[in-house]
Structure 1
């Protein structure tokens, strides 16, 4: 699908690095197909040494060459980047934006007729276990959506949603790693409290969450059913779950996602 295409990245930060690592590891493209642009020459040298990719300091030059152009920059600089490349972007170039809060309409108003795809990945793409949601712009066909999905599938799981749900994606999976880190940290403290070293407690906590998540994904069972499988009558698990319900942990997580979703909407309106 990406054979013989030139793939460009404007912005060579952590997200670009994770995506480049994933797509090269998957074998869907060769390093010779990649060109990366960044304002930092040090960062460009690092990526060249790491992946043997071509780099450039000229975003317009890259925009002219790229068949697929990933905009992996911070939201606050997106308008500046798009203004720079708009005069040279071809209508056959596929634009993939990963900037939170930057809408498809914002991009398409600046680049009319150009196929644009908006993606909200989370930070776990860095370890190949990310969760990404994609939304297709007006000129992005289903085949373009499949191509973009294949790229992000190389670093985790992918779903396609309407853009109206992108703020909810941000609130749930985009911000979700932060919630999970709080849980891991709290479980680690609990492990220390009951006698483990912090290192052992952290391993027990993190691996337990990883294993539980994998059980949900690989069995396809509802988490409530899996929970019931480990809650023996009068046992330790149901005793602990009872305390979690008393303390409102379930409601707090729901409230956190709703609040983060609303904050994403507010940021998008600015």
Structure 2
């Protein structure tokens, strides 16, 4: 699909909506084939100035766009669909970036047969390194999925998953950057405790994280093998790993991701 073959409206230009808008522009999508909506006039002026796209109201976006990318807060989605649902032709593709909301939520509020694709991306889209998972609703075809993939591929990697796995995706990669930032923050603090200047500790950990991630991606090795390659008998690394295991770091991560998945399910139940 050539950039600009469709007119895309990003409905709700908060953090994730803006990520998508900026990513499409970086990928060469013409600004005159992009629309944006927002509730605040000051935000509308900011988006129009920053990206050179037309900011319109929701009903105008529905009328003019071929693809509707809905990126509002889950608690605002029902009211939005009450407003636009009757005006959405069944041949338009709706892409949902609303965390926790299943495609059935939209299907019940849109004309019969409207194709819906559920998407979970993450904030590394800012540097074109996102992980985006896509799931097709009941009326979405392979062609709709391909169109959605082409829209998100410039932001990083994409993967197709059954919708039943989307809450787990939300817990693992949607929220995932926050876990890494927390870990890096703790390791920087540890470096300071060990006597390193903050900037030195920061640079050491950030580059180590980048290098380790690239090795995981490119080597094809299981993470256990890569960890074992750093872990010498009676050495410094195994001493550190023993302390991590003693403090239940692995169990804490499992519990944390289960909690995030359960919260995603709660959000869906609250707004169903």
TM-score > 0.5, shorter chain as reference = yes
Q: Does the 8 Å contact 1:92/1:115 carry over to 2?
A: yes
Deviation at 1:119, TM superposition (A): 0.7
Q: Does the 8 Å contact 1:15/1:126 carry over to 2?
A: no
Deviation at 1:137, TM superposition (A): 0.6
SS in 1 for 2:134: strand
1:72 corresponds to: 71
2:192 corresponds to: 192
SS in 2 for 1:119: strand
SS in 1 for 2:108: helix
Q: Does the 8 Å contact 1:14/1:126 carry over to 2?
A: no
CA distance, structure 1, for counterparts of residue 268 and residue 243 of structure 2 = 38
Give 1:130-169 correspondences, 5 Å limit.
130-169=130-169
Q: Which stretches of structure 1, 4 residues or longer, exceed 4 Å deviation after superposition?
A: none
Deviation at 1:169, TM superposition (A): 1.1
Deviation at 1:246, TM superposition (A): 2.0
CA distance, structure 2, for counterparts of residue 79 and residue 156 of structure 1 = 30
1:114 corresponds to: 114
Q: Does the 8 Å contact 2:114/2:139 carry over to 1?
A: yes
| Count of aligned pairs | 268
**CA-to-aligned-CA distance 1:91-140 (integer Å, 9 cap, x gap):** 11110010112111110011121110011112222232222211101111
**CA-to-aligned-CA distance 1:141-199 (integer Å, 9 cap, x gap):** 11211221222221122211111111111111122222212211110110000111222
1:5 corresponds to: 6
CA RMSD of aligned residues (A): 1.4
1:176 corresponds to: 176
2:102 corresponds to: 103
**CA-to-aligned-CA distance 1:37-72 (integer Å, 9 cap, x gap):** 11112222222222211111x211110111011001
CA distance, structure 2, for counterparts of residue 4 and residue 155 of structure 1 = 18
Q: Output the TM-score relative to the length of structure 2.
A: 0.94
For structure 2, the 5+ residue unaligned runs are none
Deviation at 1:255, TM superposition (A): 1.4
CA distance, structure 2, for counterparts of residue 72 and residue 263 of structure 1 = 19
1:63 corresponds to: 62
Q: Does the 8 Å contact 2:10/2:21 carry over to 1?
A: no
Q: Does the 8 Å contact 2:101/2:267 carry over to 1?
A: no
For structure 1, the 5+ residue unaligned runs are none
1:218 corresponds to: 218
Q: Output the TM-score relative to the length of structure 1.
A: 0.94
**CA-to-aligned-CA distance 1:182-223 (integer Å, 9 cap, x gap):** 211110110000111222212222222222112111222211
CA distance, structure 1, for counterparts of residue 40 and residue 135 of structure 2 = 30
1:21 corresponds to: 22
Q: Does the 8 Å contact 2:123/2:130 carry over to 1?
A: yes
Deviation at 1:232, TM superposition (A): 2.4
